[in-house]
């Protein structure tokens, strides 16, 4: 039996996400990111397409590496202005019954005590449809906004490890399952003997008490992670239930997924305990030729400047310092070498210039873009899943909500005909979508269950 393909919609509570400048396309409604009705309609669309979840990215500072200022990001609407994604979820949950919601929160800048309650609250209000994308923030602008210097890469993960320990203690250990007695006769709402202060004292955090919220349907929200580095993969193999990876082509995917599954097994978990998703953007039309025409039209609205700003954010390299039409030299700096290694995997025959990089990233960012008819897109998605040993797709967009609606109306039915997308939700919580009906809580081999 063919593996079910899980889909998450990759979005952000901002006008620009992975395709800089596409808010200017006449069909785009991205400027309505402040309008709750826009998000309610999107949630209904995704539920109609039986998506597992709407995944909301977030940043806590502007992309200001390009040119040394945030001007390009502001001008092109690149992930700024951006609203707080937490505020949208309960409203979208109120008009859906199956769609899950995964929201990004940074272990670098949040504090575990209030964050545990925020997630427990959302898990209650959604009846168990919430996940947490755990990130360690990398933007220097975010560090400056919090009045701190950027932590070294591995130190960010040391902090994140302790952060997770505190969260697990609050979610899994501070309340017994039967602590809420609701004893009207005896006048006892909560039995005090069944609520336990965690008394955590570590290198980064000191938390004495217990979670202010009672246990929610999942207790711990589904844990997602997006680490690409070796340290990030190790963190994901230990904690993650869903992992987002940037796989530039399907032939490279299996080596990456194999390494993640090896590390998951080494951490004492099953190889498939982590569901692995790659990010793709799809440009869809009735025929392949029409889709290619649409893709060329999209390129006319995409912002090269915004793409360079996006590139600077994730790479730390300011392309404004180089002639945009001259090939980057492999011997210049370690950062340039790392960048060129990345793009050489895409096409080793090219001498990549800043203009080439910006053109490539202007639709969909670094991630691949599928262009074609619904049948062609379905073929390609199946190939990515099967050749790459992937579990699902984090689907991005160029024009919103047009591209998502086209995918739901044309590609999803094609994949349902092929038995690759379910026709109805199986289970009622987000964790059940990933781990199977009946699995509402963390698996017994997850570190969150055994935390001291």
Domain boundary among 320, 345, 361: 361
Specify if 91 maps to a domain: yes
Query: 104: annotated binding-site residue?
Result: yes
Q: Is 70 exceeded by the pLDDT of residue 96?
A: yes
pLDDT at residue 140 greater than cutoff 60: yes
Q: Decide if 194 is inside a domain.
A: no
pLDDT, position 138: 66
Q: What is the CATH number of the domain that holds 136?
A: 3.20.20.30
Q: Which two tokens stand for residue 401?
A: 């909500």
Q: Is 436 left (phi over 0), alpha (psi -120 to 50) or beta?
A: left
Range of the domain at 330: 304-361
CB 254, CB 248: distance < 8 Å: no
Final residue before a domain boundary, out of 315, 343, 361 = 361
- Residue 337 binned pLDDT confidence (cut-offs 50, 70, 90): low
**CB-based contacts of 75: which residues, under 8 Å, 6+ apart?**
305, 306
pLDDT (tens digit, 9 = 90+) per residue, 55-81?
A: 999 999 999 999 999 999 999 999 999
In this prediction, residue 252 carries a pLDDT of: 81
Count other C-beta atoms under 10 Å from residue 110's C-beta: 18
Q: Do both 446 and 316 map to the same domain?
A: no
3-state secondary structure 329-364: CCCCCHHHHHHHHHHHHHCCCCCCCHHHHHHHHCCC
Burial annotation 338-352 (CB, 10 A radius, 16+ → b, else e): ebbebbeeeeeeeeb
Domain presence at residue 214: yes
> Do residue 236 and residue 339 come from a single domain?
no
Where among 338, 361, 384 does a domain terminate? 361
* Residue 423: per-residue pLDDT: 97
399 and 382 inside one domain: yes
Is the pLDDT score of 134 beyond 90? yes
Report the chain's mean pLDDT, rounded to a whole number: 93
Q: What is the pLDDT of residue 358?
A: 94
- Is residue 313 a part of any domain in this protein? yes
User: Is position 396 annotated in a ligand binding site?
Assistant: no
- Whether the predicted pLDDT of 344 surpasses 80: no
Distance CA 163, CA 160 (A): 5
Same domain, 278 and 233: yes
Kindly report which listed range (62-76, 81-95, 269-283, 337-351) carries the lowest average pLDDT score: 337-351
- Cβ neighbours around 256 below 10 Å, total: 21
**What digits encode the pLDDT tens for the residues 350-393?**
888 999 999 999 999 989 999 999 999 999 999 999 999 999 99
| Residues ≥6 apart with Cβ < 8 Å to 397 | 9, 10, 11, 17, 18, 19, 281, 403, 404
| Cα–Cα separations (whole angstroms), residue 437 to 131, 171, 414, 440 | 17, 22, 25, 8
Q: What is the pLDDT of residue 145?
A: 83
Q: Give percent of the chain above pLDDT 70.
A: 96
Q: Are residues 269 and 297 in the same domain?
A: yes
Q: Taking the CA atoms of the chain, what radius of gyration do you get in angstroms?
A: 22
Name residue 280's beta-bridge partners: 395
Residue 1 within any structural domain of the chain = no
Examine the domain organization and report whether 36 and 133 are in the same domain. Answer: yes
pLDDT recorded at residue 336: 61
Per-residue confidence (pLDDT) for residue 322, from 0 to 100: 92
Position 188 in a domain = no
**Could you read off the pLDDT of 181-232 as tens digits, one per residue?**
999 999 999 999 999 999 999 999 999 999 999 999 999 999 999 866 778 8
Residue 231 and residue 114 in one domain: yes
The total number of structural domains that make up the chain = 2
| 309 and 299 within one domain | no
Residue 63 marked ligand-binding: no
Give me the pLDDT at residue 333, please: 55
Q: Is residue 424 part of a domain?
A: yes
DSSP secondary structure letters along 312-334: HHHH---GGGS-TTSPPPTTS-H
Cα–Cα–Cα angle for 301, 306, 309, nearest 5°?
A: 165
- Indicate if 345 and 225 belong to the same structural domain: no
Does 433 carry a binding-site annotation? no
pLDDT digits (tens, 9 = 90+) for 272-306: 999 999 999 999 999 999 999 999 999 999 999 99
Q: Is residue 180 part of a domain?
A: no
Ligand-binding annotation for 136, yes or no, is no
Residue 55 structure tokens: 């995944």
Q: Give helix 334-346 / helix 354-361 axis angle, nearest 10°.
A: 50
Q: What is the pLDDT of residues 226-264, one digit of tens each?
A: 866 778 888 999 999 999 988 877 778 888 899 999 999
Structure tokens at 167: 């969260």
Query: Which strand (E) or helix (H) includes residue 423?
Result: none
Please check whether residues 270 and 133 belong to one and the same domain: yes
Quick one: pLDDT band at residue 165, thresholds 50, 70, 90?
Answer: very high
357 and 416 housed in the same domain: no
412 and 374 fall within a common domain: yes
């Amino acid at each position: 039996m063919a593996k079910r393909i899980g889909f998450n919609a990759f979005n952000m509570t901002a006008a620009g996400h992975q395709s800089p400048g596409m808010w200017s396309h006449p069909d785009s409604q991205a400027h309505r990111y402040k309008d709750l009705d826009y998000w309610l309609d999107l949630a209904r669309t995704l539920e109609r397409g039986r998506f597992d979840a709407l995944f909301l990215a977030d940043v806590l500072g502007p992309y200001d590496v390009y040119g040394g200022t945030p001007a390009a990001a502001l001008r092109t609407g690149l992930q700024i202005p951006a609203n707080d994604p937490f505020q949208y979820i309960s409203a979208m949950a109120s008009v859906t019954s199956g769609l899950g919601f995964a929201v990004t929160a940074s272990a670098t800048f949040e504090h575990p005590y209030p964050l545990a309650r925020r997630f427990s609250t959302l898990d209650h209000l959604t009846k168990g449809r919430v996940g947490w994308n755990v990130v360690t923030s990398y933007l220097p602008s975010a560090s400056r906004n919090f009045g701190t210097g950027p932590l070294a890469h591995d130190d960010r993960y040391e902090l994140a490890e302790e952060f997770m320990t505190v969260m697990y203690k609050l979610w899994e250990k501070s309340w017994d399952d039967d602590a809420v007695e609701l004893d009207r006769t005896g006048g006892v709402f909560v039995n005090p003997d069944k609520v336990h202060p965690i008394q955590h004292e570590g290198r980064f955090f000191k938390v004495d008490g217990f979670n202010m919220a009672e246990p929610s349907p999942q207790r711990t929200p589904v844990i997602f992670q997006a680490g690409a580095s070796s340290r990030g993969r190790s963190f994901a193999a230990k904690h993650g239930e869903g992992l987002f990876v940037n796989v530039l082509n399907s032939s490279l995917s299996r080596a990456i997924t194999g390494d993640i599954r090896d590390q998951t097994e080494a951490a004492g978990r099953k190889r498939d305990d982590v569901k692995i998703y790659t990010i793709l953007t799809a440009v869809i039309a009735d025929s392949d030729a029409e889709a290619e025409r649409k893709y060329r039209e999209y390129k006319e609205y995409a912002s090269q400047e915004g793409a360079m700003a996006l590139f600077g954010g994730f790479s730390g390299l300011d392309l404004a310092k180089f002639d945009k039409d001259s090939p980057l030299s492999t011997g210049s700096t370690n950062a340039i070498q790392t960048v060129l290694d990345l793009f050489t995997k895409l096409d080793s025959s090219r001498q990549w210039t800043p203009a080439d990089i910006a053109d490539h990233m202007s639709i969909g960012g670094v991630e691949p873009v599928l262009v074609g008819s619904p049948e062609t897109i379905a073929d390609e998605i199946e190939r990515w899943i099967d050749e790459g040993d992937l579990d699902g797709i984090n689907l991005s967009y160029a024009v919103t909500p047009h591209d998502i609606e086209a995918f739901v109306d044309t590609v999803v039915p094609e994949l349902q005909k092929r038995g690759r997308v379910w026709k109805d939700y199986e289970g009622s919580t987000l964790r059940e979508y990933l781990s199977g009906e009946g699995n509402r809580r963390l698996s017994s081999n997850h570190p969150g269950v055994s935390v001291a």
